[in-house]
């Protein structure tokens, strides 16, 4: 199984690295408008480089589109002569599989995915959904290719924009939270580097507790809050600052923007 990545920016590059871990670098082809960028990535991971998008598509069984949402239809249209017998996989936010299939003139099955940047280190979250022509074997193959990226889950296409608002955009929100906690640590007298490490490891461990115990985050929060203690004092301060409302509003804003990107 040969896999091509057309567009090797932050997300395309992250998934290309994951694919090299999953199926081997010898089975992966990189292509980018910047040949230098593709070649630098190839030197790093040991994959092949295609000179242009059409050649990359001709070389592959699964074609991963890592181009911007407003460009993806035009690039797919250029690939039409090479799409027979291939599977097209798009990570373009907001672009529906029906639109992707129309751009491909219905010549191949379409799978839509939504990854996030932690996929670059194998700690990411990826959603997968079936588009026109996609069968179980195509979804299973996409999951295998992406398995080196982190957790892979199938979702309904109607939920993709919401998924992206949480998992795709969410790392930026989490980084802001880590930075803010570190700022608080510096205010309390900690060196910046130490405060940042403490905050990041705390968030990592807390996330693992949610995933591994299956407990509701509220129950885990309550277990840390002693009556009249420092933790509940901090929780109350977050509530006064509108912390939860701000997080909900951030997801809502990202969700609405995702929905508009494909139009």
Look at the pTM and tell me if it is higher than 0.75: yes
pLDDT in tens, 195-246: 999 999 999 999 999 999 999 999 999 999 999 999 999 999 999 999 999 9
Sequential DSSP letters for 179-227 = HHHHHHHHHTT--HHHHHHHHHHHHHHHHHHHHHH---HHHHHHHH--T
Buried b (16+ CB within 10 A) or exposed e, 246-256: eeeebbeebbe
Copy the structure tokens of residue 33: 């408008």
Q: Could you identify the residue written with the tokens 């567009």? A: 7
Quick check: 263 pLDDT over 80? no
Q: What confidence score (pLDDT) does residue 82 get?
A: 96
Q: What confidence score (pLDDT) does residue 262 get?
A: 64
- Reference 162, options 89, 248, 242, 70; nearest CA is 248
The answer to whether the CB of 59 falls within 8 A of the CB of 2 is yes
Domains of the chain: 3-158 (3.40.50.720), 170-261 (1.10.3730.10)
- Residue 120 pLDDT class (50, 70, 90 cuts): confident
């Amino acid at each position: 199984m040969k896999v091509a990545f057309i567009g090797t920016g932050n997300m395309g590059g992250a998934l290309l690295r994951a694919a090299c871990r999953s199926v081997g670098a010898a089975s992966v082809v990189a292509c980018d408008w910047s040949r230098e960028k593709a070649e630098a990535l190839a030197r790093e991971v040991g994959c092949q480089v295609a000179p242009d998008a059409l050649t990359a598509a001709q070389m592959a069984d699964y074609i991963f589109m890592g181009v911007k949402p407003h460009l993806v239809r035009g690039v797919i249209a250029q690939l039409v002569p090479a799409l027979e017998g291939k599977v097209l996989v798009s990570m373009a936010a907001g672009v529906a599989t029906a639109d992707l299939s129309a751009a491909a003139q219905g010549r191949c099955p379409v799978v839509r995915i939504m990854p996030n940047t932690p996929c670059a280190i194998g700690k990411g979250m990826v959603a997968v959904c079936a588009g026109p022509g996609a069968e179980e074997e195509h979804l299973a193959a996409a999951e295998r290719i992406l398995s080196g990226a982190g957790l892979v889950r199938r979702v309904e296409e109607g939920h993709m924009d919401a998924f992206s608002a949480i998992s795709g955009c969410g790392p930026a929100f989490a980084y802001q939270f880590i930075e803010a906690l570190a700022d608080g640590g510096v205010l309390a007298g900690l060196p910046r580097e130490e405060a940042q490490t403490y905050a990041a490891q705390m968030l990592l461990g807390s996330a693992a507790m949610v995933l591994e115990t299956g407990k509701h985050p509220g129950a885990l929060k309550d277990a840390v809050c002693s009556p009249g203690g420092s933790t509940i004092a901090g929780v109350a301060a977050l509530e006064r600052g509108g912390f939860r409302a701000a997080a909900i509003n951030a997801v809502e804003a990202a969700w609405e923007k995702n929905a508009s990107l494909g139009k």
